[in-house]
Structure formats: C-alpha cells, structure tokens
Amino acid sequence: MLFTDSHCHFDFKEFAQTREAVAKNCLDLGVHQLIVPAIAPSNWQAVLALETQSELKLHKALGIHPWFLNDLTLADVEDLSSLVTRHHSEIIAIGEIGIDGKIAEDYDNLTKQIQFFDAQLALAAKSQLPVIVHHRKSHPLLVERIKSAKYSGGGIVHAFSGSFQQAKHYLDLGFKLGIGGTITYERAAKTRKTVTKLPLESMVLETDAPAMPIFQQKIQHNSPENIPLIFDALTDLRQEPKDLIAEQLENNIINLFSA
Ligand SMILES: [Zn+2]
C-alpha cells in the first residue's frame, strides 16, 4: 500500500537534523510522497528549495497562513502572485491559506484574514491551482467566502474536524477533507462519527507534522512516519477492506493534484 501525507511542514526546523532519516523511513512505510505547504513569505524560498537525497516525492504549495499575516500587507499577496507565476511548474497548490476564528478573536483581525483569504483564493483561480485551507471556528465563514468567490478549483480542508453537515458543505464545493491525528482520539467523537459516514472519495490523509500529536504517542513532535497510524485509525472506523481504502485515498490525491 502507498500513502501520501497531504499536509506536512517538512521544511520546519524540527526536521533539520532528521530529515534524511525520516524520508528514508517514510519510504519503508509506504509513505511515498508529501505535500509541503508554506506559511508566510519567510519560508517560501525554503519550501521551494526543499529536497532530500531519497526517492521521497515532495510536492510544494505556496501561500500565507492566517496565523502569520499580522505584519503583512496585500503587497505580500502580490509578491506571492509573482512567485507563483515564476515557479508554477514546481507547485501544486496555493496554501496554506484560511480563516482562524480563534486568532480573529485574539488579534481582532478578522477583516484582514478575510481579505487575505479572498485574495489568495482569487490567485488560485487565476493560476488554476487548488487550495489548502486551514480552519478553526470558521466553517460557515469559509464556505461563504468560497461560494461568493464562485471558486471552483477545489482543494483540501486540512485537519478537518466537524459534523457531517459541515463536511457536506465542502464536498458540495468540490473540496476534499484532510483526515489527521484527531481521529486517533476517542474524545473526538463528532469527527470520528463524521468519518464513518463520508464517501471514501472525499478524504485524504495528513499528519500536519511537526504539529498535532497522535494519541498516547510520546515523541517530541509529529512526523509523516505516523501516516500508517492515522490510516489504521481510519480503517477501524470504516467497513471497506484496507487495501481498497488505501487505493481510493491515493486516487483522491491524483484527482486533485495530478500527483
Ligand atoms: Zn499546516
């Protein structure tokens, strides 16, 4: 079985010493490719330059994450646009972008977050690329912005958590849902229940490494090597045979990114 980690910040410093070993281990575990989203102008070049000496495929996305836009202006989205044009053949998505309702409360910056989200959604449409979307306390707003932009390029709602109804809104808009470590926690009852009911065509696996720990795992940080654990948690919640689930999850990545 082959797997893709559809959301891994593999350029982060947590992997500085271990990147080659982790890459090799991923391949041994069947994790043959990672999608590496950027978060801000400060790491765009690092993401573009990221490589390993192994066969592990690294697919890149460029974008501005809602946590990191306080010191930025829309001129940075213009810079992003130029970079995307120059490196179009090296990237497969615009991301990570999104709206974070908790950060909006803490920093009173909801209007700015919406501006950046809308501008990057427009960039994705213009560049004919899908998007990788961060959410927290923001499902209704994200759905509203995607609809009002008439954006039809699809993408991934990363680290999806929520009800079946919330999931359905995104599926109707052509999005897939990133299924991560959340489902390894029994207390995440709502999301686990949603995952039992979703069509297999709607899901992709992700770790969000180095963030998002796995239940009861005592390592320093999360790693793409944990994808098989998330896959096992998913198959526990599903009726279909494991190999069929794995095959469909890979097809979902191909359909979305041609990767
Ligand atoms: Zn992320």
pLDDT for res 218: 65
Beta bridge partners of 33: 4, 57
Task: Tell how far the Cα of 8 is from the centroid of ligand 1, in angstroms.
Answer: 7
Tell me, in angstroms, the distance from the centre of ligand 1 to residue 209's CA. 8
Contact 9, 68 (CB under 8 A): no
Quickly count: other Cβ atoms within 10 Å of residue 110's Cβ: 17
CA of 96 to the centre of ligand 1 (A): 6
159 Cα to the center of ligand 1, angstroms: 8
Q: What is the mean pLDDT of the chain?
A: 95
> Using one digit for the tens of pLDDT, what is the confidence trace for 142-194?
999 999 999 999 999 999 999 999 999 999 999 999 999 989 888 899 999 99
DSSP state string for 189-235? HHHHHHHHHS-GGGEEE---BTSSPPTT--SSS--GGGHHHHHHHHH
Q: Can you give the pLDDT at residue 220?
A: 74
* DSSP code of residue 8: B
Distance 37 CA to ligand 1 centre (A): 7
Cα(235) to centroid(ligand 1), Å: 24
Distance (Å) from CA 75 to ligand 1 centroid = 23
* Contact criterion met (CB below 8 Å) for 155 and 132: yes
Model confidence pLDDT, tens digit, residues 184-237? 888 899 999 999 999 999 999 999 999 876 676 766 789 999 999 999 999 999
Q: How far does the centroid of ligand 1 lie from the alpha carbon of residue 212, in Å?
A: 10
CA of 22 to the centre of ligand 1 (A): 18
DSSP code per residue over 124-163: HHHHT--EEEEEES-HHHHHHHHHHTT--S-EEETT--S-
pLDDT score, position 212: 74
Give distance in angstroms: CA of 26 to centre of ligand 1: 19
Distance in Å, CA 105 to ligand 1 centroid: 20
Looking at the predicted structure, is the pLDDT value of residue 67 above 90? yes
Q: What is the mean pLDDT of residues 34-61?
A: 98
Between the CA of 115 and the centroid of ligand 1 the distance, in Å, is: 20
pLDDT of 219: 67
What's the gap in Å between 71 CA and the centre of ligand 1?
19
How confident is the model over 117-122, as a mean pLDDT?
98
Q: How far is the CA of 47 from the centre of ligand 1 (A)?
A: 13
